[in-house]
Amino acid sequence: MIDKNSPIPLYYQLEEHIKELIEKGELRPGDALPAEREYAEKYQISRMTVRQAFTQLVNEGYLHRLQGKGTFVAERKIEQALQGLTSFTEDMKARGFEPGSQLIHFEIIPATSQIASQLSIQEYGPVYEIKRIRLADGVPMALETNYISANLIKGLTEEIVNQSLYTYIEDRLNLRIDHAAQVIESSIATQSEANYLNINKGAPVMLIQRNTFLHDGTPVEFVKSAYRADRYKFMIQMKR
């Protein structure tokens, strides 16, 4: 597996070997990796080399380290395509996960000037502020804060937002969600995001802001979310 005469660095050869085991399913999410020392003995390479391969795999999201416990195979990241305008519920179902929400906050508030301008409503106009932890098979994936004009989307309840918001808007209110603009930036989890998402403070997250519109251009939602960067990656198709 490791060829010492190869011009390819040893740590890189080991890294590729471990990746292959993960991709073939011979090492599965949650499995513990043999200790650095064992790899070093098995392949007659230095522990430094093994550590370098592990560090690289941790950085790439294939492995994670648990203090005092060892190195483990990380959960596969969810690959989210960016071209379709889909809801969290649809995304999760399409992947065979059970979608879920944990409602943190649900209130009608007067729109601040920022929210009012995002929703094209008057300042202090009534907006729902809805904060949900979005779950896949019960595991927190994202923390989402939604702002929705209460004059446009009538009759929202806690029960409804525990299910799918988009289903309610489209199937119950018969409004057509049409297009959205989304900005994604990287950041690190605040203490409160970390608590909700069950990750460490300072762990990488992706902040996503989405403005969604009806067919006639009326803003239907303004959403700020923090997605776990250890569980998500985004994919976009491009054409020259």
* Contact residues: ligand 16G, CB under 6 A: 87-89, 144, 146, 164-167, 208, 210, 221, 223, 225
For residues 128 and 107, is the Cβ–Cβ distance under 8 A?
yes
CA distance 54 to 12: 10
Q: From the CB of 178, what's the least distance to ligand 16G, in Å?
A: 13
CA distance 11 to 197: 33
C-alpha radius of gyration, the chain, whole number: 22
Q: From the CB of 194, what's the least distance to ligand 16G, in Å?
A: 19
**73 or 148: CB nearest ligand 16G:** 148
Q: Provide the residue type at 75 as one letter.
A: E
Q: From the CB of 179, what's the least distance to ligand 16G, in Å?
A: 12
Q: From the CB of 88, what's the least distance to ligand 16G, in Å?
A: 4
Q: For residue 118, what are the CA distances in angstroms to 64, 114, 209?
A: 39, 6, 11
**50 or 206: CB nearest ligand 16G:** 206
CA distance 47 to 35: 10
- Backbone φ and ψ for 53, nearest 5 degrees, come out as -65, -45
**71 or 164: CB nearest ligand 16G:** 164
CA distance 53 to 94: 34
**71 or 146: CB nearest ligand 16G:** 146
Q: From the CB of 240, what's the least distance to ligand 16G, in Å?
A: 27
**33 or 223: CB nearest ligand 16G:** 223
Q: From the CB of 132, what's the least distance to ligand 16G, in Å?
A: 8
For residues 146 and 132, is the Cβ–Cβ distance under 8 A?
yes
**49 or 146: CB nearest ligand 16G:** 146
Beta bridge partners of 233: 79
CA distance 170 to 62: 38
Three-class secondary structure of residue 6 per DSSP: coil
